[in-house]
Amino acid sequence: MTEKFQAIRGMPDILPVDVPFWHEFETYWRRLTSSYGYEEIRLPILEATALFKRSIGEVTDIVEKEMFSFESRDGESLSLRPEGTAGCVRAALEHHLLHHQVQRLWYQGPMFRYERPQKGRYRQFHQVGIEAFGLEGPDIEVEHILMMVRLWKWLGVESAISLQVNSLGSFESRKIYREKLVDYLSQYYHELDADSRRRLQTNPLRILDSKNPALANIIAGAPKCQDYLDAASKLHFETFLQYLSQAGVHYKINSNLVRGLDYYNRTVYEWVTDKLGAQGTVCAGGRYDSLVEQLGGSQIKAVGFALGIERALLLQRALDHCKTVERDVYLIHLGEGSEKKALLFAEQLRNDWPELRLIVHCGGGSFKAQFKRADQSGAKIAFILGETELATETVSIKWLRETEQEQVSISKNEVNQFLTKYLREGKQ
């Protein structure tokens, strides 16, 4: 028996019925980023494992247990990228993009994490992300949040998503806070779960992020990061919040929001929804002022965010706000030699109307069968080239979605006029 292959666990195919939603998202994303002056950078999927260890941090979930790492043929340890920031900083440094200049960059593409697959959580998933270099903020943080507000509105999900913010302070203030937190949590050592006990030494802030309900009370009583902020970070955070309010953006301060990656300082935030269960974080970001230096560059401040496209589209679907996939014309034809004539007519239309979404019926069949296909295709109108039309150089036009519109016949010369009106106004 021949072996049947299946996709690798957690690495789903994206099927043709879903791809149009991805296209729409990607097209809007390009428009959005360009309207804010961001430029795309395209980054490789593989990087040296050491890059992620150094940037994300050795004792983070991602590096400890979520990376797809392997040895290349020449013995170097490589990893499929689990996120985009590390590679983006690496590339920006390698190509001297950060020298005395501000950079507003964006990227998109697949990311890989060895997690337990479930709805909204995959081993290959896709992100779009933004990184801005050379800006101290907090105006730039606010710019990023305003971009996302626009995106949520466009997706139609703004009522189901909310913004949570926090400040981690400077690395120095975080050190002081960390000690206080370890002192506090150590009192409850015997009540902590195994994960949290381990983290107490390695990454105690992450305990605040624990989803274990048994720890909820302990976490609620823990010292708050904001109470230990240094003066400059405090001002940064307050100004950030003020700008958000002035821009009409609602937010909630969440003292337990620490993010899983080591490189963050000061501002951190997440866009969350309660519509996707445990996969409720759709977009997350923050400031990472020392990463560039850590990776061998000079002291260049940076801030960015990443959005999971699968989760954004799942949320849109959960709210039933999917824009329907549309096609304009399905070209139906019947009669002697109609196949060739239809193909040539369609080519001419495509020459004249590059934006027209046109399907030519292929494979023959009765009018009835062809109309059925036309219906399924999502096209708004059918152009019909039957025997009469072919003999009289006319085209019949039938509206497939608006039943009150009568079928009409126009001469081929009038098709351009018809399409001008249709494409400009969406109607006859």
Measured CA distances, 299 to 64, 89, 139, 288, 381 (Å):
28, 13, 19, 11, 59
Give 21 or 122: the residue with its C-beta nearer to ligand ATP. 122
The Cα 167–Cα 266 span in angstroms is 5
Give 90 or 361: the residue with its C-beta nearer to ligand ATP. 90
DSSP 216-266: HHHHHTSPPGGGG--HHHHHHHHHHHHHHHHTT---EE-TT---S-TT-EE
Give 207 or 415: the residue with its C-beta nearer to ligand ATP. 207
The Cα 278–Cα 231 span in angstroms is 35
Report the nearest approach of ligand ATP to the CB of residue 93 (Å): 21
Task: Looking at residues 346 to 405 of the shown chain, list those that interact with ligand ATP (rule: CB under 6 A).
Answer: none
Stretch that binds ligand ATP, among 215-223, 281-289, 375-383, 413-421 (CB under 6 A): 281-289
Contact track, ligand ATP, 256-275, x by CB under 6 A? ----x---------------
Q: Using omega within 30 degrees of 0 as the cis cutoff, is the peptide bond preceding 138 cis?
A: yes
Give 108 or 290: the residue with its C-beta nearer to ligand ATP. 108
Stretch that binds ligand ATP, among 216-224, 232-240, 280-288, 369-377 (CB under 6 A): 280-288
Residue 122, SS3?
Answer: coil
Report the nearest approach of ligand ATP to the CB of residue 284 (Å): 4
Report the nearest approach of ligand ATP to the CB of residue 279 (Å): 6
Report the nearest approach of ligand ATP to the CB of residue 46 (Å): 18
Report the nearest approach of ligand ATP to the CB of residue 125 (Å): 3
Q: Number of helices (H) and strands (E), helices first, in the chain?
A: 15, 16
Report the nearest approach of ligand ATP to the CB of residue 107 (Å): 13
Which DSSP category does 157 fall into? -
Give 127 or 166: the residue with its C-beta nearer to ligand ATP. 127
Q: Are 48 and 69 in contact (CB under 8 A)?
A: no
Report the nearest approach of ligand ATP to the CB of residue 126 (Å): 8
Tell me the site size for ligand ATP, rule CB under 6 A: 18
One-letter amino acid at 424 equals R
Q: Which of 103, 281, 290, 316 binds ligand ATP (CB under 6 A)?
A: 281
Give 80 or 282: the residue with its C-beta nearer to ligand ATP. 282
Report the nearest approach of ligand ATP to the CB of residue 317 (Å): 15
Report the nearest approach of ligand ATP to the CB of residue 392 (Å): 56
Contact track, ligand ATP, 92-121, x by CB under 6 A? ---------------------x-x----xx
Query: Residue 396 forms beta bridges with which residues?
Result: 384, 409
Distance between first and last Cα of the chain? 57
Q: Are 80 and 45 in contact (CB under 8 A)?
A: yes
Report the nearest approach of ligand ATP to the CB of residue 311 (Å): 4
The Cα 301–Cα 75 span in angstroms is 34
Q: Which of 107, 125, 243, 263 binds ligand ATP (CB under 6 A)?
A: 125
Give 305 or 330: the residue with its C-beta nearer to ligand ATP. 305
Closest CA to 266 of 294, 241, 229, 321: 229
Q: Which of 132, 284, 314, 359 binds ligand ATP (CB under 6 A)?
A: 284
Report the nearest approach of ligand ATP to the CB of residue 389 (Å): 50
Residue nearest to ligand ATP (CB): 308
The Cα 90–Cα 342 span in angstroms is 53
The Cα 325–Cα 191 span in angstroms is 53
Measured CA distances, 306 to 102, 167, 180, 290, 384 (Å):
19, 18, 31, 18, 47
Task: Looking at residues 303 to 322 of the shown chain, list those that interact with ligand ATP (rule: CB under 6 A).
Answer: 306, 308, 310-311
Stretch that binds ligand ATP, among 238-246, 276-284, 344-352, 411-419 (CB under 6 A): 276-284
Q: Which of 49, 55, 103, 127 binds ligand ATP (CB under 6 A)?
A: 127
- Which helix H or strand E contains 181, and what residues bound it? helix 171-186
Residue 140 tokens, joined = 């730039």
Is 282 a binder of ligand ATP (CB under 6 A)?
A: yes
Sheet (strand 77-80) strand order: 46-48, 77-80, 69-71
Residue 110, SS3?
Answer: strand
In the complex, the residues that contact ligand ATP under the rule CB under 6 A are 83, 113, 115, 120-122, 125, 127, 260, 279, 281-284, 306, 308, 310-311
